[in-house]
Amino acid sequence: MAAPSPSRWITRARRRLSELGRVQVELVYSRRYQIELPGAAADPLRGERILAFLAAQGLTSARHLHTPEAATYRQLRFVHTDDYIDSLSRPGALLPIVGFDLPDPLPDRILEAQRRMVGGTILAAHLALTRGLAINFGGGLHHAYADRGERFCLWNDVAIAIHDLREGGFSAPVLVVDLDLHDGDGTRALFADDPTVHVLSIHNRTTPGVSTAGATLVELGSGVEDGPYLAAIEAGLPPLLASVRPGLVLYLAGCDPAWDDEIGDWQITDAGMLARDRFVVEQVRGGRKGHRLPLAIVLAGGYGQRAWTYSARFFAWLLSGKVLTPPSSEDMTLARYRATAALSSSHELTGEEAPGKSGADDWGLSPEDLAAVGGVRARSRFLGFYTRQGLELAIERSGLLDRVRARGFSRLILDLELDNPGGETLRLKADGLNEPLIELRARIDRNAVPEMAMLRVEWLLLQNPRARFTAERPRLPGQHHPGLGLLQDVIALLVVACERLHLDGLVFVPAYYHTAAQGKRLLRFLSPEHEGLFQAIQAALAPFPLDEATAAFEEGRVVDAATGQVFRWQPMAMVLPVTDRLQQQLMAPDYERQAEAAAQRSFAVRPAKRPGGG
């Protein structure tokens, strides 16, 4: 028997060392969790943003990523009554659960998305038992009872997952640690008669009239801050771990206790949220007491655009042992599109052969090429690069079409018009709708910025023909329908196209004040004078909501404060730099100085004439 060679031993020892510093966690997610509810504060991309952040930090690997199936009806029946399950397919059944009426096909999509999340929690529970630690980037639907759903929760995923493990012969006690802001009332009602499952819920208000058997409840009221919250958890969790002696812990790591949550009424800081999550994991997985219990984590509540950052910070710490700060949502969107763009090779997008691959059984000629052979050189590529099929592939893989589908549109058709005299036009249409959801006209522009090649967006329309204008989403100039809510995504996709085509950046000229204001989160004005001018205008319009601000321009009520002259909106180019050289030009001290000087102008807004008034 030969001893292992020293080099091999060193490699192995190194690997063991690195494994010690890195916890292995199984991650469960499906894009089908995404559901866009009009008017709801839940971020449909929460799971995806968390995942993209972890991926950007190099903390994920395909081996530990799992896609769940939707829970079967058999699994739903472990917990829910047949009458309830049947009732959900009736029209209007979701109204009492989600609180407002939903147009078709949204009810079906919600049912499907939440069934998929139940499947995710089932999978995460199984993975926790076999591999130690698993996270479902969804689930935590703790307000669902056997015979009814409440507050957005249709199926009780945690209860179904426990029953599924029981079916498979797992009989050890289970502890559910529910730290969502709200009472885990559905879950504890479901296990009131089951001594093998204990629910700890620390929340703002206890739901009256629900059995408290087999549960530990801590009601903290409103406006809770870090100190009392963490004290309650430190007092509540360790004794239960000792007395229940669970074989599995299910943790609902809801983020709605956070200070900036759009629904919650607590004041837990960023640091407080992370301290909470760390405490739970250290107690369950390796605290001083040395527990090393299987742990499955689900997202549960968390509302608004920053909800994802709490989970992202928690999971990044779990995976790396480091405290990492997630970036803004805009940067995250771009990172997401970059990551998926890397999946498509350029020959897939252009239809050209991969280098070194022989074209023996396919000459690679498209009908457009044949037309060219015949003497008519028809344009066959979008931006001289993407074939129709390549473009469809790139957009599908980016996830943009899934996001459109999540808004309830089906049978999407990509329509490419390359001979439009106004410029190459791309349209995304949906079944049964005459008007496009997305319309983009773009060309490569070598004149807008000296010595640089830009992707010029001549026209970009994003609209939801099925949505209606409301007081919160009023009609803006140029709009026939409310927006689609995908501007950030489309811009990110265009940035990725710039990178693919080696272009320096995006350029576009907003036709209205509101378009510029919306673009301003990602773009700068090409000229420093315009940048400063716009800042001055924005300062004057700051007290007004966007629709009133843009109406002030349309009605000629924005005036130069010094001269009293009406200032009309004028075409000014905005750019989003992609290459470093353009970025440097826009960040140069000279640019900043000139912008600052131009920003000294001051504007005033005249009051609107009241209709019928004088």
Whichever of 178 and 504 has its CB closer to Zn ion, that residue is 178
Whichever of 43 and 256 has its CB closer to Zn ion, that residue is 256
* Whether the bond into 105 is cis, omega within 30 of 0: yes
Q: Which two tokens stand for residue 264?
A: 């919650």
Question: Shortest approach of Zn ion to residue 204 CB, angstroms?
Answer: 9
**574/571 Cα distance (integer angstroms):** 10
Question: Shortest approach of Zn ion to residue 594 CB, angstroms?
Answer: 49
Question: Shortest approach of Zn ion to residue 25 CB, angstroms?
Answer: 23
Beta bridge partner(s), residue 258: 268
**230/213 Cα distance (integer angstroms):** 24
The residue number whose beta carbon is nearest to Zn ion equals 301
Buried b (16+ CB within 10 A) or exposed e, 341-379: beebeeebbbbeeeeeeeeeeeeeeeebeeeeeeeeeee
- Phi and psi based region of residue 182 (left: phi greater than 0; alpha: psi -120 to 50; beta: remaining): beta
Question: Shortest approach of Zn ion to residue 302 CB, angstroms?
Answer: 8
> At 481, is the secondary structure helix, strand, or coil?
coil
**Element (H or E) spanning 461, and its range?**
strand 454-462
Question: Shortest approach of Zn ion to residue 174 CB, angstroms?
Answer: 21
Q: Tell me, what DSSP letter sits at residue 268?
A: B
Whichever of 258 and 430 has its CB closer to Zn ion, that residue is 258
Which parts of this chain interact with Zn ion (CB under 5 A)? 180-182, 256, 301
> At 26, is the secondary structure helix, strand, or coil?
strand
Contact criterion met (CB below 8 Å) for 315 and 54: yes
Whichever of 203 and 466 has its CB closer to Zn ion, that residue is 203
Question: Shortest approach of Zn ion to residue 310 CB, angstroms?
Answer: 13
Whichever of 182 and 407 has its CB closer to Zn ion, that residue is 182
Question: Shortest approach of Zn ion to residue 181 CB, angstroms?
Answer: 5
Question: Shortest approach of Zn ion to residue 178 CB, angstroms?
Answer: 9
Whichever of 180 and 445 has its CB closer to Zn ion, that residue is 180
Whichever of 94 and 202 has its CB closer to Zn ion, that residue is 202
Whichever of 141 and 237 has its CB closer to Zn ion, that residue is 141
**179/216 Cα distance (integer angstroms):** 12
**328/574 Cα distance (integer angstroms):** 21
Whichever of 190 and 430 has its CB closer to Zn ion, that residue is 190
Q: Which two tokens stand for residue 82?
A: 């047949």
Whichever of 26 and 180 has its CB closer to Zn ion, that residue is 180
The phi and psi torsions of 410 (rounded to 5 degrees) equal -125, 170
> At 435, is the secondary structure helix, strand, or coil?
coil
Closest CA to 310 of 280, 275, 358, 343: 275
Buried b (16+ CB within 10 A) or exposed e, 112-137: ebbbbbbbbbbbbbbbbbeebbbbbb
- Phi and psi based region of residue 571 (left: phi greater than 0; alpha: psi -120 to 50; beta: remaining): beta
Question: Shortest approach of Zn ion to residue 535 CB, angstroms?
Answer: 39
Question: Shortest approach of Zn ion to residue 405 CB, angstroms?
Answer: 27
Whichever of 183 and 445 has its CB closer to Zn ion, that residue is 183
Q: Edge-to-edge strands of the sheet including 413-417?
A: 413-417, 424-429, 438-445, 454-462, 505-508, 574-577, 524-525
Question: Shortest approach of Zn ion to residue 300 CB, angstroms?
Answer: 6
